[in-house]
């Protein structure tokens, strides 16, 4: 990224590289280590180093280094971690909170995809005065606003990452707004949406690409895109037009069908935008360029509209800007540098939650069943406006994991807190309760409409 590369070159020349601690050594975590430590002709990129990797099982953390020819030091406990960092030895550990709070770390990158575990690590980093960059839309879409509030109190950055679709959308949103065009919709492009996909149906695809079947199922069943658009809403102040978003599907349910040009899909949003009091977040299935993101914007100046037409953006009223790719781990170093060197968050909640993700039954659920995981067999997530979630006491999917059904719930029914027993002692539940108190609407405003 322009500016970032120059600033990192300066840090390299001064022998003051940004010291990165990574938590999570899965698909994305290993990619980030490789990108930072080998992207410059097999050498570390300028101005940045990975000083440590934490994982709940030490093996994948060790492989993240050994696969690129680096033999790390195994450490247990914050003191041993700090000694290894001071000695210049890359460290691996199962003590994620120890690494996140260690001296010699400038920024913690969280890429576990978990909820409670991730929240504990992020809290440890914030309390230790570390910047946090993450790729965890599920955590952010559940308790991101209160984590951002705590980061503000400590004077550190809490940010989603470049490279994943929410961060790419926010970069594009800021670009469009900088042109003087008013963003009115932030959109995501999907190839498939079927809320009943599960780890069994997605196993062949997952095995082909070295990913977890449940994670791949969460992409297909709409859970992932719901979290992604929820955190974009929380970063922009936008909302959803209706529960689950509009999500026009031009694929006919066939992810291999020819893609429709994005511009031909935009009429599906027009009437919703005309009646919206604020901007919207949404998605489209079966459009190109994919997988990409887009922002729709408007302009009031007839002269500038003339020039937008001249520059091939059409006659309006909605002008479409898009980014045809998202490069995940390749772009994470940009986010790290933006946080540490410029105090700039790629995407972060701007206040209280605007949109959350609620749990719906993926099948007829029986009493005693446990909701196991994102993309699992029991529940899928859909985006809903936060005032509705509060009004109807709907259960966020991020809190539903590990919960036990108290009574039967029919397929496709939204779950409520009263439907489940929540495990005790989780930090995420305490954070969610604190978030509700911190951002509660004033009592004088009355109930949500």
Q: Do residues 10 and 55 both lie within one domain? A: yes
* Overall number of domains in the chain: 3
Evaluate whether residue 388 is within a structural domain: yes
Which CATH number fits the domain that encloses residue 69? 3.40.50.720
pLDDT of 449 higher than 60:
no
Distance CA 250, CA 281 (A): 18
pLDDT of 211 higher than 90:
no
Place of tokens 């709070």: 101
pLDDT of 440 higher than 80:
yes
pLDDT band at 250 (very low <50, low <70, confident <90, very high): very high
CB 87 within 8 A of CB 111: no
pLDDT of 20 higher than 50:
yes
pTM of the model as a whole: 0.95
pLDDT at 445: 40
Q: Do residues 129 and 20 both lie within one domain? A: yes
Q: Do residues 172 and 301 both lie within one domain? A: yes
pLDDT band at 442 (very low <50, low <70, confident <90, very high): low
Residues 118-174: tens digit of each pLDDT:
999 999 999 999 999 999 999 999 999 999 999 999 999 999 999 999 999 999 999
Across the chain, what does the average pLDDT equal?
Answer: 94
pLDDT at 1: 62
Q: Do residues 370 and 398 both lie within one domain? A: yes
pLDDT of 446 higher than 80:
no
Q: Do residues 128 and 244 both lie within one domain? A: no
pLDDT at 201: 92
Residues 349-406: tens digit of each pLDDT:
999 999 999 999 999 999 999 999 999 999 999 999 999 999 999 999 999 999 999 9
pLDDT at 267: 92
> Which residues, 6+ apart, have CB-to-CB distance to 303 below 8 Å?
none
Evaluate whether residue 348 is within a structural domain: no
Burial of 321 (0-12, 13-18, 19+ CB in 10 A): middle
Q: Do residues 275 and 406 both lie within one domain? A: no
Evaluate whether residue 428 is within a structural domain: yes
Evaluate whether residue 306 is within a structural domain: yes
Average pLDDT score over residue span 12-40: 95
Evaluate whether residue 347 is within a structural domain: no
Place of tokens 């984590």: 147
Evaluate whether residue 209 is within a structural domain: yes
CB 373 within 8 A of CB 334: no
pLDDT at 444: 38
The DSSP H or E segment spanning 110 is: strand 107-110
Domain of residue 422 covers 355-445
Evaluate whether residue 267 is within a structural domain: yes
The 3-state DSSP class for residue 240 equals coil
Residues 54-103: tens digit of each pLDDT:
999 999 999 999 999 999 999 999 999 999 999 999 999 999 999 999 99
pLDDT band at 30 (very low <50, low <70, confident <90, very high): very high
Domain boundary among 284, 308, 342: 342
Q: Do residues 256 and 196 both lie within one domain? A: yes
Q: Do residues 273 and 338 both lie within one domain? A: no
Burial of 210 (0-12, 13-18, 19+ CB in 10 A): exposed
Burial of 294 (0-12, 13-18, 19+ CB in 10 A): buried
Q: Do residues 281 and 260 both lie within one domain? A: yes
pLDDT of 284 higher than 90:
yes
Residues 337-349: tens digit of each pLDDT:
999 999 999 999 9
Domain boundary among 342, 375, 399: 342
Distance CA 401, CA 404 (A): 9
Q: Do residues 306 and 178 both lie within one domain? A: yes
Q: Do residues 188 and 222 both lie within one domain? A: yes
Q: Do residues 270 and 385 both lie within one domain? A: no
Evaluate whether residue 349 is within a structural domain: no
Distance CA 432, CA 417 (A): 13
Distance CA 27, CA 112 (A): 9
Residues 108-132: tens digit of each pLDDT:
999 998 999 999 999 999 999 999 9
pLDDT band at 302 (very low <50, low <70, confident <90, very high): very high
| pLDDT-above-90 percentage for the chain | 88
Say which range, 193-197, 211-215, 435-439, has the weakest mean pLDDT: 211-215
Angle subtended at Cα 165 by Cα 238 and Cα 280, rounded to the nearest 5 degrees = 20
Which CATH number fits the domain that encloses residue 432? 3.90.1210.10
Domain boundary among 342, 366, 384: 342
pLDDT at 362: 98
């Amino acid at each position: 990224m322009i500016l970032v590369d120059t600033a990192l070159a300066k840090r390299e020349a001064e022998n003051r590289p940004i010291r990165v601690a990574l938590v999570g050594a899965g698909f994305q975590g290993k990619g980030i280590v490789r990108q930072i430590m080998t992207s410059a002709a097999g050498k570390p990129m300028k101005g940045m180093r990975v000083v440590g990797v934490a994982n709940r099982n030490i093996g994948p953390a060790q492989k993240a280094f050994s696969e690129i020819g680096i033999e790390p030091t195994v450490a247990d406990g914050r003191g041993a971690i700090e000694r290894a960092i001071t000695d210049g030895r890359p460290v691996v550990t199962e003590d994620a909170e120890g690494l996140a709070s260690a001296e010699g770390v400038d920024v913690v990158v969280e890429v576990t995809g978990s909820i409670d575990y991730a929240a504990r690590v992020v809290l440890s980093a914030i309390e230790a005065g570390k910047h946090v960059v993450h790729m965890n839309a599920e955590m952010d879409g559940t308790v991101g606003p209160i984590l951002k509030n705590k980061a503000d109190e400590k004077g550190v950055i809490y940010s989603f990452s470049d490279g994943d679709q929410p961060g790419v959308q926010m970069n594009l949103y800021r670009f469009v707004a900088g042109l003087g065009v008013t963003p009115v919709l932030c959109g995501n492009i999907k190839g498939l949406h079927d809320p009943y996909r599960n780890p069994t149906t997605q196993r062949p695809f997952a095995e082909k690409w070295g990913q977890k079947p449940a994670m791949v199922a969460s992409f297909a069943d709409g859970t992932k895109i719901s979290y992604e658009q929820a955190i974009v809403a929380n970063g922009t102040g936008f909302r959803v037009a209706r529960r689950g978003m509009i999500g026009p599907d031009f694929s006919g349910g066939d992810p291999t069908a020819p893609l429709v040009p994005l511009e031909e899909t935009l009429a599906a949003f027009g009437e919703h935008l005309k009646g919206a009091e604020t901007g919207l977040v949404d998605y489209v299935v079966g459009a190109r360029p994919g997988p990409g993101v887009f922002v729709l914007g408007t302009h009031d100046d007839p002269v500038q509209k003339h020039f937008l037409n001249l520059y091939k953006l059409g006659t309006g009223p909605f002008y479409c800007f898009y980014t045809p790719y998202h490069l995940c781990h390749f772009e994470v170093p940009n986010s790290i540098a933006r946080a540490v060197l410029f105090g700039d968050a790629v995407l972060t909640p701007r206040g209280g939650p605007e949109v959350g993700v609620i749990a719906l039954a993926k099948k007829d659920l029986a009493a005693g069943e446990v909701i196991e995981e994102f993309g699992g067999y029991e529940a899928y997530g859909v985006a809903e406006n936060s005032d509705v979630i509060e009004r109807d006491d709907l259960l966020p999917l991020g809190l539903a994991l590990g919960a036990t059904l108290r009574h039967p719930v029919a397929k496709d029914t939204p779950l409520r807190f009263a439907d489940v027993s929540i495990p005790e002692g989780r930090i995420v539940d305490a954070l969610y309760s604190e978030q509700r108190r911190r951002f509660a609407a004033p009592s004088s405003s009355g109930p949500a409409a």
